[in-house]
Structure formats: C-alpha cells, structure tokens
A = this chain, B = another copy of it.
Amino acid sequence: MKIALIQKNPTVADFARNVAGLLAGIDQAARAGAELAVCAELAVCGYPPRDLLERPAFVDANRRALDEIVARAAIPAVVGFVDRGGASSNGERLRNGAAVIGDGQVRSVHYKSLLPTYDVFDEWRYFEPADSIELAEVSGVKMGISICEDIWNDADFWPERRYRSDPIAQQIALGARLLINIAASPFAVHKRTLRPRMLAAQAGKHHRPLVMVNQVGGNDDLVFDGGSAVFSADGTVAARAREFAEDMIIADIDIDSGHGRGPIRDTAPDDAAATLDALVLGTRDYVKKCGFKSALIGLSGGIDSALTAAIAARALGPDNVYGVSMPSRYSSEHSTTDAQTLAENLAIHYQTIAIEGPFQALLDALEPAFRGCAPDVAEENIQARCRGVILMALSNKFGHIVLTTGNKSEVAVGYCTLYGDMSGGLAVISDVPKTEIYQLAREINRQAGRELIPSSTLDKPPSAELRPDQLDQDSLPPYDILDAILESYIESHLSPAEIAARGFDAQVVDRVLALVRQSEYKRSQAAPGIKIRHKTFGPGRRMPLAARWR
C-alpha cells in the first residue's frame, strides 16, 4: 500500500492557505500513485488554536475547510480537524478528530483518547476524549488511527504519564494491520531521539507498520519539527520526511509482511545543529505569520545579541535584519567595534544611536526626586530602558519587529530589565542556557565555514555594561554552575537540599533560587520565546506571582 505523508506548515486559523496546501500535497501524492494521504493533527486549523476553539465561528470555519478537502481530494486521506459532538465541560462539545475521507465523503471519524494537559498543553480545556475506539478501513486494510498523545502511553519511554487506557493496544486487539498516528508534537532537544525510539518500539512491540505524520513550523512559542516517518513492523525506520521544513514523501508498505520502503531524509547531525534549525524556523515563522518582513536587534557587541542576529539573518535574509548599536557612557570601545564587525560579517543593516542624551535628560528630570540617593539599579535600568524606547520607536516608525536577546540563564534569575532589554516581540534565545549560547555561536561559525560571530565576542567575559567595569560574574555564579543549578530547579523540580546534594554550595543554591522566584513577575510580562527544552518559561510554566514559596 502506497501511503503519502503530507507534512505541512499551517498558520493557525488561516484556513484558505492551510486547505490549499493540503490539497496541493494530496494532489501531488495522487499523481505519484499514492492510495492514501495522511495529514497531521488539526491540519485544517493548525496547532495550537488555543481559545479560538471557544469561538463557534472558528469551529464552523474549520468544518467548512474540512468539507472543501472532502469535496476536492483526489485520493482517500486522513485529515485532522475539530469535530463537534460529545458531552464537554466547557460549552462547545468538541473533539480532536481525524477524518478518514474518500470518494467525496467522510467515511469515518476517530477521536483522540489521551488529552495532554501537562506543560504547554491544555486539551482538557477544549476537548472531550474518545468514547470508544473503532478501526478505519482503506483499500481493504483495517487500520488504527490515533492522534499524537494516544501513542505516547508507553511506560518505557514516558514513565511520568500514567494514562488509564492504551488506545494503540485496543486498536491491535480490534485487528488493526497498520497503525497511523497524526501528530502536532513540538520540538524539544530531548525529544529528538526519544520520539523516534518510542515510535519504533511501538511498531516493534505490536509487530505492525506505523505511519506518523507530524506538523512542521513555528506557531507562537512552539516549533514543530516534522520528521514524519514510517516504521516497519520490526521497528526499523522505513521512510522519513525532512526536519524543520515542509515535505511530502511516499512510502510503500507491504501490509502482509509489515515491511515498508521509502525515502529517508537526513536529520540534523547533532543537538546544536537541530536547535539552531528550530530557532531559525521558529523565528522565521513567528515574524512572518505575525505579518512582519524585517526585524530589529539591539547589538551590544556581546554573544547573546550576536547569536540572535545570526539566527535572524538566516531566518529572514540579511537584508531584512537591522542591527542598532546604542552605546552609553559605560560602553567599552570593543562593544561598538564588535557589533559593527558582526553586522559586516552577517551583511545586515547597521546604525549607531547613542543613548547619552536621553539618559542624561532622564537623570536631569529625575534629579529633584532622586536628590540625596546613591546610584543603584534604578540608574542601570534607565539605560536599558532608553535602549528599549529607541528600538520600539524604530519599530513603530519602520515596521520592523524587535527581537529580544536575553538567554535562559539571565531570564531565569532576572538579570534583565523589564521594559528595557526585555522589550520586543519575540525572545529568540530565551530558552537557551548561557553555556549553550557559546555552543550555538560556534556552530553558526562552523556551518558558515568562517567567523560570522567575531572571536572577540566569543572570548570576552560577559558584561551588561550598565556601570563602570561591570561583569556578569560580579553578580552571578559562574555560568556552568548557574546553569546546572537552574536545570535542577526549573526542569527537574529538585528541592534546594537535593540540588546542594549534587555538589553545589547550599548558599549559592539558595541565592539562585531566590532570584528565580523574585523574577517571576518579569517573566510574566516577557515576549514569547521559542521552546527548545523540556521545561520552558512561558505557557508551559504557570507560576503564581503573589506567593511565598521558599
């Protein structure tokens, strides 16, 4: 049986564009002789639609989009959509559905059984789970259709999930000869190997060929990495679509033997390369799907803004990236020269706007109020906020989106200024710990085969340059220690005592965790970031603000 994997990059709610893309893919598959085309989870509306699902008109539009595909699809297809029906706790009775369509009609509909509500997922907010499992049949082949999380109920790979049902085992018991999983499974570094291993194990465990079609593209904070794949019944990879790009591949599956054959595209060689791909795709899609063409970045001469600019240049093209150096009285000479060198290396636009005038004017305006007070973080923040105002003024005037440049370590401990360097539309690297920033910068240079990010930027000690001779390490522990503590706390949920037991100074641990808690309010007002790790600041981490957790 020849099955096409239609891997598309939808824009949430852009039904006309999404439908056109799916129909083009199905047409192409039909011309190539495929008998069945498989599209991703919620393919007609894009994932995640979030609270648009509460709007009846949105659900109606999604249904009309499905109907258009039903009317025009040249071959049978599996298409993800939002269905009505079922008793729900939130008004609309909605289901996360997979329609099996063919010959101008919907032949069967299959619902998601396991609704994720952890991390970034809120599916119980919108959907009712399936009441029962039934097989689909196409070209005489009985197949089990599952949706994303349905196939993740595997204690060997996802031990913290403890679902009470196993939809895949039920499909096997019903006589499924082929397993199809349609997904919108976001990228995270640790899932690069986890997801294919888990899928291979499911195929092997049940001795059935398995087709998984994943969404690709960035939608807000999430990047879907694609990598749709076919596994033979012995658990080996039979076909694989591209990562981080749209693709259409056709696999030929011998249902009797369970053996499949098809193209196997290359994957990113390592975590750093995959992370870069994810950040580039997430940046490109956020900027373009929000209607922007160009981006603006404050270039400090440091490694964070350099990496952000390099990612933006790759995502949008250098001619659509505008770097601005905004030196102050505390800026070192190398700040501006490094920024300028970077801009020249990347071939992006570059200008300099000094903040001395606005900074001094603000100090003058505040002089009566501040009289007798020693300089402190207030004066430091004024500088960062002058830069924020300048970037936003350029954004308002010329229509560029501002990209913020804070890394995960800074954002975690609040080593950043709200309404200052946190001002912007997208926080490109806010899920990348400082220690990994260097790895990604070196990967950028390695891939380019030359020094895009200047070695002076890579080598100098990090500094915010908001007072004379300031260095990050004056306020923070060394970044390798800081990042290890942060990972233990934020991603592994360890207690201070458990972290100290890993070999860290208990006082340092307490100080770092206090900084994390004290800066929840800053993160609550941050621009969206691009999720690349297990636990990310943003919609997947919902902390109270007015709380007293120690």
A residues near B, CB below 8 A? 11-14, 17, 46, 48-52, 54-58, 87-91, 93, 114-118, 122, 124-125, 160-164, 218-220, 285-286, 289-290, 351, 353-355, 357-358, 360-362, 364-366, 368-370, 373, 376-379, 381-382, 385-386, 388-390, 392-394, 396-397, 418-419, 423, 425, 493, 495, 521, 524-528, 539, 541-550
Docked Cα-Cα span, A286 to B547, in Å, equals: 9
Contact flag A162-B89 (CB < 8 Å), given A11-B548, A52-B549: yes
* Chain B minimum-CB-distance residue to A326: B365
Q: B378 to A385, Cβ gap below 8 A?
A: no
A495 to B57, CA, bound (A): 6
Q: Report, nearest first, the 3 A-B pairs whose CB atoms are least far apart.
A: A361-B361, A289-B546, A378-B396
With a cutoff of 8 Å between Cβ atoms, the chain B residues found around residue A528 in the complex are 524, 545
Give A243 Cβ to nearest chain B Cβ, in Å: 20
Residues of chain B contacted by A17 (CB below 8 angstroms): 548
A376 with B390: CB separation less than 8 A:
no
- Apart from the given pairs A56-B495, A369-B394, 16 other A-B contacts in the complex at a CB distance below 8 Å: A12-B544, A51-B543, A52-B547, A52-B549, A90-B117, A90-B118, A90-B161, A289-B548, A290-B545, A357-B361, A357-B364, A362-B389, A382-B393, A385-B392, A386-B389, A389-B389
> Smallest Cβ distance from A254 to chain B, in angstroms?
36
Across the two chains, which residue of chain B brings its CB closest to A547?
Answer: B12
Q: Which residues of B contact A357 (CB under 8 A)?
A: 361-362, 364-365
Minimum Cβ distance to chain B for residue A247 (Å): 21
Instruction: List residues of chain B with CB within 8 A of the CB of A362.
Output: 357-358, 361, 386, 389-390, 393
Q: Cβ of B50 and Cβ of A546 under 8 Å apart? A: no
Give the residue name and chain of the B residue nearest to A161 (CB): B89
Instruction: Evaluate contact between A546 and B117: CB separation under 8 angstroms.
Output: no
Which B residues lie within 8 Å of A50 (CB)? 542-544
Residues of B within 8 A of A396 (CB): 376-378, 381
Chain B residues with Cβ under 8 A from A547's Cβ?
Answer: 11-14, 46, 49, 52, 219, 289
With CB as the reference atom, state the residue of chain B lying closest to A355: B365
> How far is B528's CA from A65's CA once the two chains are assembled, in angstroms?
36
CB distance from A141 to the nearest CB of B (A): 32
Name the residue of chain B whose CB is nearest to the CB of A419.
B419
